[in-house]
Structure 1
Amino acid sequence: MTEPFKVWSKFSVTKGTETFKFKMMEPPIDRLDDVMDLVYKYFMKEESIFKAAGVPKGDQEALKAEYELLVTGYISDELFHTTVCCVDNDNEEIGEIVGASFMTLTKKNTPLELQFHPQSKELLKAFEMILTLPSLTTKMDELNIDQYYDGRGVVVSSKYRGCGIAQEFLKVRRLVCKEKGVPLTCAMMTAIGTQKAAERDGWQTMEELDFEEFGKLHGVSFEGSPKIAKLMAVRID
């Protein structure tokens, strides 16, 4: 059977008494609202920097609309790559979308600047912090690379956590890099779960960030977040 969209991988997992089947694929254009719902429901409300910036406490309708413009713009950018995880129904029908992974291609001598200009104070604060996170941009000569895929987040529905979806997303990032001839991928891992998943997949810690000190620098609190965020990377053979 020919898949209507590119499928990077398929896998199954048993959780309790249930067995789930998933496939990692390119996002169907007509299902982008489902992707945005995941981002809004989980990523914007749970990711450490967004929480510290006060996003979960802001005007939710305004924040959702504003962030949707950002995500839509990202997805349409040829340098941006999105993978979704959906329930595999063993046919051409696209099942429930339960996770998404985002990354963007960063090339040598590309300035690190804010392309998106938030109107809400919460998103403005979040992106101000994001711009000061450790980056591999200044280390490309040292690493002997001229481009890399930089992670922009992984989100998984709470119902399907513990199924290895985040782990599979990291494997797919390797596949994307290999297909496109990109020698390295990295991400700032701000959650313990993704840090552990990256370690299992052979990623190395390039730099660590103390959230308490980072919070003092920006006048925010990272209460409830991991103590350390990690810039992690993996070379593609």
Structure 2
Amino acid sequence: MIEFRSITKEYKKGIKAVDNLNLKLEEGKIFGFLGPNGAGKSTTIKMLVSIIPPTSGEILYNGVDIRKDPVAFKKLLAYVPDEPKFYQKLTGYEYLNFIADIFEVDEKTRKKRIEKYSALFGLEEALKDLVSSYSHGMGQKLSLMAALVHNPKIIVLDEPMVGLDPKASREVKDIMRSLADSGSIVFFSTHVLEVAANICDRVGIINKGHLIAESSVDELLKGKGETLEDYFLSITKEA
């Protein structure tokens, strides 16, 4: 389990991007993190993956503050940002091997996984090309492959389906479900509320840095006669 305890991020005095966030992410679950632009989603994600530190509070993994042994925590983690960055003068295959080296994935295992996911995303031939020649969608697929090459116990995705074609989007949703069913924690942000409603075990809605709702989709909508989109627009307007 990952637990956010009273997490606050203050960029300027008195201006809090995330304010006193308390949240639990469970193994074997897909958690959808929803909110308008500027609500604090990406800031929360960057604190979870240790890109930026919180101003106050702590993030625990199985009861241990992730700052106590950040390298051990990161070995379990995969992160797919909303705008992936690559070493442009590497081929796709060289980049994936570089990531596999960092996570100490053996040659046989990495080869099997790279072949599996390159076939799944239709990148078999493109892996021979320089990353600088990739389209946005191809880069997004490469970022997803890099995240999966070490079979992470925790996968964090920030708008993972932006720029993907319908087939690749479906594959990503199936992969997320498979990872969760095998016991991983899947945490992702999205503006596509239909996707969240269809695949998430739980969702949290953040607005202006505050978590304003957190539950299963069924529990959120029980007795309201609304879609998740209706509920989201209503509650964020009220907040």
TM-score (norm 1): 0.29
Higher RCO structure, 1 or 2 (CA under 8 Å, sep 6+): 2
